[in-house]
Structure 1
Amino acid sequence: MKRASLQENLLYHRKLKGYTQDELADRTTVGVRTIQRIEKGEVQPHLQTVKLLAVGLGVEVDDLLVLDNPKEEPINRKWMLLLHASPFFGLIIPLANILFPLFIWINKADQNPIYDIHGRAVINFHASMSLLILISLLLFFALPGLNFFITGFIALIALLFSIRSTLSAMESGTYYYPLSIPFLKKKNQ
């Protein structure tokens, strides 16, 4: 049975065999603390350690390791870059910061849950920032002069968090978009 990660696979097969962590350590030359850290996801063990654990559990290495399709990784990175970086077209074309990621999200969300999650975050953030900028521009009538600084501050925040999240998505697959109104809510599964 395939699970989502090495830590889940190890835990699943160890419990399936009815072994405690100590018993598995006795059956291999892998220490109890190492097994604990692998199962908690704190470390990524060497292949030799995975082989020893597989032998100790009486399973194949493939039953523990989750091997990614190497052809998918560049595609993921390209789409993630496009999804997170496409809002920068909004600096040239009005509302492109929302429309471009929206079109990408509509086309890719069903193919991979990561695109769905990241797409919603990007669209929610940029829609929220656009709404805040519109409100700050309307403040011209109430606070002439001051609204210029508010609008500039919001635009700067949007730019900085867009750059940060784009880089973070490319390096670690994470993002951080604060002040987002959840216009596109997560699907109930």
Structure 2
Amino acid sequence: MKRKIYLKLLLTLALILSIIPLVSEPADAASVSYMLNKKKVYTYQDYQLKETYEAKFDKNKSKEIERIVTQSSESSGLTCFTDHSCYKEDKKTLSQMVMYAGLIENLTYPVKVNKSWETSMGDIRKITAIKTVKVKAGTFKNVVVVKETRSYDKKEFYIEYYAPNVGLILKEASNEETNYKTTKQIELIKLK
């Protein structure tokens, strides 16, 4: 009798442990996007330049920007916005086109806390948290927090906050310009 109870408990525990990874696995790129949404208009505050700017998808502008920004095969599949930011997202990464540097891997999928990778520029990016973040545009849940440490200055870092199906909502910097104090660089102040 005791043996049957132990066997049932053991089988139940094995079943529970086999289901946990399926339930707790973070969403992947197929179901959640961290790229700017083509249907939204983003207004950002740039604290460094002390100005606001708008980013929205414009099919004609996207082709023009893509042609100006890149001349390589990396440009195929880019989605560009009016603020001249261009992204490429697939099952493995969310990358951003950076002038004179090519595609930089902003996120790698699946999204998991403590996951780290080296960018094509030699910097180290690490997902440090998934949490709720409040910015002027509102409060966003399940925001992926990515810290990038520079290869040439370990004290210098940048933190980017990506909301699911919204994209970049906040960017902070800690560098020589900020006296190595974490300071807001860019913040989403309006989303429509």
Higher-Rg member (1/2): 1
- Asked if Structure 1 and Structure 2 have the same fold, meaning a TM-score greater than 0.5 normalized by the shorter chain, the answer is no
Q: Which has the higher helix share?
A: 1
Q: TM-score, normalised by structure 2?
A: 0.24
Q: TM-score, normalised by structure 1?
A: 0.24
Q: Which has the higher strand share?
A: 2
Answer 1 or 2: higher relative contact order, Cα 8 Å, separation at least 6.
2
